[in-house]
Structure 1
Amino acid sequence: MIQLSKKNILDVLRNGWTVLIAVIIGIYIGLFKHEYIVYVAPIGKIYLDILKMCILPILVTAISLSIARLVLAKENHTYIGKMLIIFIMSVVVSGFLGVIIGIIGQPGAGYDKAALASLGSIVRESNAPDLEISAYIPFVAEQKQSFIKVFIDSLIPENIFSALNAGSSLKVLFFAILFGLAVGSSSKVSTHYLLTSLDSIYLAFAKMVHWLMYFLPLGLLGLIANDVSQVGVSVLMAMIKFVPIALMAFFIQFILSSLIMWQRTGSFFKPFYALKDTVIMALGTGNSLACLPSTLTAMNEKLGYDKDTIDLLVPLTFTICRTGPTLYFALAALFVAQFYNVDLDVSGFITIIISSVFAGLATAGASGIVLLSMLSMVLTPLNLPVEAVLVLFIVIDPIIGPFRVLAIVHTACAIVALILPKQHLEQLIDKPTISAELNG
């Protein structure tokens, strides 16, 4: 008789096949066994809430530690300019990619009367006031606040504890950067003890996330079952063109970032394996910050990048380089323009790219309806309706959202690989890792 040890059981829980089975069961329940949703959905919500509980402490400690050490180690200042250039290029290329795919794929063109009626019924069934959808009704945009004012309001916290409580990651990031600069600029001996304390806090929360990974199959089952149950067949039929084109856009972005990782590491398959847990977390949770711990571990332990540098660049890239939302907003704007038969010239396409970059940046820490509402930053300058189409994007977001998060996370890894010196994975030697510390 085969006896399973505690270690064997834990290995089974983290096995890829266990995760895959949980995903399949979640999809099955979401599609055919809605009566079980009430039992499994709370499990997924609890799992995600506990995971999110650990994220902001990891974000604060990782960024503050890294900034402080960056200031103290002046020899690391050389790549900051390169980092800023690559950050800007990455989001601009994402917006450009969204526009190109929208022009080629034409997701909003060719709808017949039946499809228009189906889309209109979705809006009416949302019970939102004053929502009508028509390809022929002109839209007059209301006066909006300037992007600069909105961005500054979302960047600078009046109270850091309120920002932590609200989960405002952009405000928390701003605080962590300033705090790290202040700590690194201090020459007192006490700075060393503060850095040691922050590092201990970081390792403690990282260990909690390490424990949570054993419950990943259960968490994914509940999350996926709930999300799948919210997407009706009628919505998929009405948005039959947009959904596959959007998924294809994210797939192209994934391939491009994979090619970059190949070029920077010398291996095509090892980065796939190293980021396996990160990809699963992205698709399962639909939350980019929930992927932060696994990404830090993968980039440091499995791909061999320096821990202090990774602790700085990965959270910064997650928060600032919003490549997934940028691409999605650009593609969504093309969909709306084509749906309303609005012809765009070169200046219109440039407007979409630039405004998508700013709208993507404004989504840091946002998700769901809040994230999608940033689409108004792209549509309003083009005099396109926002309220009349926002419901459509909200309804399909359980499908699109996880792939948008995957685009953020995987592209962030490629961006970090571009910033840092090339790795040669076959030359890596075994060394003590964070996991060893956590298990010790």
Structure 2
Amino acid sequence: MRNIPLHWQIIAAILLAVAAGVIGGPDASLGSLQLTAVYAFLGTLFLNALKMLIVPLVVSSIISGMAGVGGDKLEKLGGKTLLFYACSSLIAILIGLAVVNIIEPGGGDNRALAATISTSDPEISESLAKVEGRGTGDIVQVFVRMIPSNIVSAAANGEMLGLIFFSLLFGFFLARSKSEHAATLMHFWQGIMDIMTEITMWVMKFAPLGVFGLVAKTVAITGFAAFKPMLLFFISALIALLIHAFVALPLALRYLGGVSPRKHYAAMTPALLTAFSTASSSATLPLTLKSIQEESGVSKQVSGFVLPLGATVNMDGTALYECVAAMFIAQVYGLELGFVQQFTIVMVALLTSIGVAGIPAASLVAISVILGAIGLPLEGIGLLLVTDRILDMIRTAVNVFSDSCAAVIIARSEGEDTLIAAKP
């Protein structure tokens, strides 16, 4: 196994997991041992190991990146990063809007789906409880939490926006500091980042086992039969996500970054497969940093600034999905949306994809805000639960790929050669 590239190991694990989940189903067991419990155990161990790395890796990478870039370049680098993230998310949303208008997955026979929603269903009731009373005020509160009153508490609770804000400040003033101890601090944070990278490489040796557990559990519990009535919605969201991942972002890589999209896909394959199986941009961040630095050749200064920020605020796939989901629910309820309502969906999806990053059940909260903005019942969220897990895995991979594209394009704009530059 040692001689087999990691991405092939992960692909093999995913295929075996799908087979195990389909054949065994949710009730499969070996004697008294429930197989889904085994899958959950393997997946949870791997996911916890990745989450264990997030806080020290994010803090050290941002501080090291900021200190290495220097305070004078922050405004320029930060401006480029935020501009790319805003533009890529907007393009993703517009792609989703175009696809859902063309296919109309909620029209025709699927309009009868609205009558099938039962708020007495425990899963639907639980999901509605998470979003009940949510509104645009929740988005404002997330931005308030960007400045944490207690940085230790923010780290313990996984409030990444607060951690990122503190790390940016620390790195900025460390780069400008004239203190005799500044160099020592720079070496300290760089040392932590180097060690965290080594730990990441060790954890990733167990990735095939973790991926197998996560995917097998999902397939065993979800199955495929429930997808039939929602197939058109699933296909619409999938097509839009694929267009963004395989058309829009590669064009940006080629013409804005001057790099080979094919080489970048190859470099990012392990990270993308991990993002797909974990459905977590933050949990995938350690491997994303490793791949972008070692395989794509982006400097630690640029990647250490761009990627942790992107893992929290750049959600192309999520923003696209929010738009498609809201339009689908509107179609199911027979609501014809005009230009103003669709423009509202686009703008709210763009804002919520950033603003709800720190809220549990983030995509459901974001969709509930959109539904409230255009006057649709929250019960429509119940329609999304059947396909949500699989689409969550796919849109997370798109989120991670967008972050990596930003890192490469911004590195190229800063004059870095990278390892994937296109041949002249």
Q: Shorter-chain TM-score: what band?
A: 0.7 to 0.9
* SS of residue matched to 2:334: coil
Contact conserved, 1:70 with 1:77, CA < 8 A, in 2? no
1:63 partner amino acid = I
Counterpart-to-counterpart distance in 1, 2:46 and 2:261: 32
Counterpart-to-counterpart distance in 2, 1:195 and 1:131: 45
Measure how far apart 1:317 and its partner are: 2.2
Counterpart-to-counterpart distance in 2, 1:394 and 1:342: 21
- Structure 2 counterpart of 1:70: 69
- Structure 1 counterpart of 2:159: 168
- Structure 1 counterpart of 2:108: 110
Counterpart-to-counterpart distance in 2, 1:400 and 1:120: 20
- Structure 2 counterpart of 1:19: 10
Measure how far apart 1:402 and its partner are: 1.0
Contact conserved, 1:228 with 1:398, CA < 8 A, in 2? no
- Work out which of the residue numbers 273, 281, 286 in structure 2 matches 1:288: 281
Counterpart-to-counterpart distance in 2, 1:392 and 1:260: 34
- Work out which of the residue numbers 230, 233, 250 in structure 2 matches 1:242: 233
- Structure 2 counterpart of 1:278: 271
| Cα offsets for 1:14-66 (capped at 9, x unmatched) | 54443222212211222221322122220111111111110121111111222
- Structure 2 counterpart of 1:379: 371
- Work out which of the residue numbers 91, 95, 106 in structure 1 matches 2:93: 95
What count of residue pairs does the alignment treat as equivalent? Answer: 406
| Cα offsets for 1:115-171 (capped at 9, x unmatched) | 455x426x5433655999xxxxxxxx9784535633333423232222211212122
C-alpha change, 1:303 and 1:222, in structure 2 (3 Å) is same
Contact conserved, 1:157 with 1:163, CA < 8 A, in 2? yes
* SS of residue matched to 1:344: coil
Contact conserved, 1:94 with 1:326, CA < 8 A, in 2? yes
* SS of residue matched to 1:364: coil
C-alpha change, 1:425 and 1:161, in structure 2 (3 Å) is closer
Structure 1 alignment gaps of length 5 or more = 1-8, 133-140, 429-440
- Structure 1 counterpart of 2:382: 391
Structure 2 alignment gaps of length 5 or more = 29-34
- Work out which of the residue numbers 207, 210, 213 in structure 2 matches 1:222: 213
C-alpha change, 1:333 and 1:173, in structure 2 (3 Å) is same
Q: Does residue 316 in structure 1 map to residue 313 in structure 2?
A: no
How large is the RMSD of aligned CA atoms in angstroms? 2.6
- Structure 2 counterpart of 1:262: 254
- Work out which of the residue numbers 401, 406, 410 in structure 2 matches 1:419: 410
Tell me the TM-score normalised to structure 2 length: 0.87
Counterpart-to-counterpart distance in 2, 1:130 and 1:179: 40
Counterpart-to-counterpart distance in 2, 1:406 and 1:366: 20
Contact conserved, 1:265 with 1:425, CA < 8 A, in 2? no
Tell me the TM-score normalised to structure 1 length: 0.84
Q: Does residue 125 in structure 1 map to residue 121 in structure 2?
A: yes
- Structure 2 counterpart of 1:83: 81
Counterpart-to-counterpart distance in 2, 1:49 and 1:130: 24
Counterpart-to-counterpart distance in 2, 1:384 and 1:253: 27
- Structure 1 counterpart of 2:327: 334
Measure how far apart 1:269 and its partner are: 2.1
Identity of aligned residues (%): 26
Counterpart-to-counterpart distance in 1, 2:190 and 2:205: 24
Counterpart-to-counterpart distance in 1, 2:126 and 2:283: 36
| Cα offsets for 1:265-288 (capped at 9, x unmatched) | 442421121111111111121111
Counterpart-to-counterpart distance in 2, 1:39 and 1:148: 38
